Amino acid sequence: MPIEHEAKILDIDPDFAKHLILDKGGQLLGEKLMRRYVYDITPGDQSKWLRLRDTGSEVTLTVKEITSDAIDGTYETEVVVSDFDTTNQLLAALGYTPKSYQENKRTSFILDGVEVEIDTWPRIPPYLEIEGKSREDVVRVAAVLGYGEDELTGENTTKVYSRYGIELAGIAELKFD
């Protein structure tokens, strides 16, 4: 499984972050509402799951496996599928029931060849996500934006919600009002 190299900077001001990224030479790619279903692969094992995600321009089915909270602690295998609802039905026919439905809003940029995203989720403050081809790329672009490595976390969304006292596993529908 390929390694995903990404880190989050929590509790940001989205307007400040947007201007900062653009001032540093970033290119705005767009804004979108993303929706996803999350499925357990092995009940009770929170380290590995299936994600069916619709970004508005692409639908993907992904196996994610967390080995640590490090920038390079997530393995991801992803394939593009043609239809969100049909793929959910196919997974149901294989015995998979979504444990949750989730939405988030994302503003995407490219800065120095690295993906930089402002993610807004219901019930928690927005955060910045930086994803590159290597750990070094992630740390380098964070530094360009004025963030030290000690301000980065590789924690997944479930752990980020836990920081705010919210047990994401207990929320079947996470939507914007």
**What percentage of the chain reaches a pLDDT higher than 90?**
88
> H-helix or E-strand containing 159?
helix 157-163
State the DSSP code for 89.
H
> Residue 53 — very low, low, confident or very high, per pLDDT cuts 50/70/90?
very high
Distance between CA atoms of 89 and 97, rounded to whole angstroms? 9
Q: Reply yes or no on whether the pLDDT at 174 is more than 90.
A: yes
| Of 114, 117, 115, residue with least CA distance to 14 | 117
For residues 41 and 116, the answer to whether their CB atoms sit within 8 Å is no
Distance between CA atoms of 95 and 144, rounded to whole angstroms? 46
How far the first Cα of the chain sits from its last, in Å, is: 36
The total number of structural domains that make up the chain: 1
Alpha helices in 32-128 (DSSP H): 84-93
Residue with tokens 């390694």: 3
> Residue 45 — very low, low, confident or very high, per pLDDT cuts 50/70/90?
confident
| Of 52, 30, 29, residue with least CA distance to 41 | 52
Exposure letters 20-44 (e unless 16+ CB within 10 A, then b): bbeeeebeeeeeeeebbbbbbeeee
Top-confidence residue, 44 or 70: 70
Residue with tokens 């092995």: 42
For residues 75 and 3, the answer to whether their CB atoms sit within 8 Å is yes
> Residue 56 — very low, low, confident or very high, per pLDDT cuts 50/70/90?
very high
Distance between CA atoms of 42 and 65, rounded to whole angstroms? 12
- CATH code where residue 99 lies: 2.40.320.10
Burial class (CB in 10 A: 0-12, 13-18, 19+), 58: exposed
- Model's pTM, two decimal places? 0.91
Task: Give pLDDT tens digits for 16-38.
Answer: 999 999 999 999 999 999 999 99
Look at residue 43 in the predicted model and tell me its pLDDT.
82
Can you give the residue range of the structural domain that contains 41? 3-174
Calculate mean pLDDT across residues 56-62: 96
Distance between CA atoms of 134 and 141, rounded to whole angstroms? 11
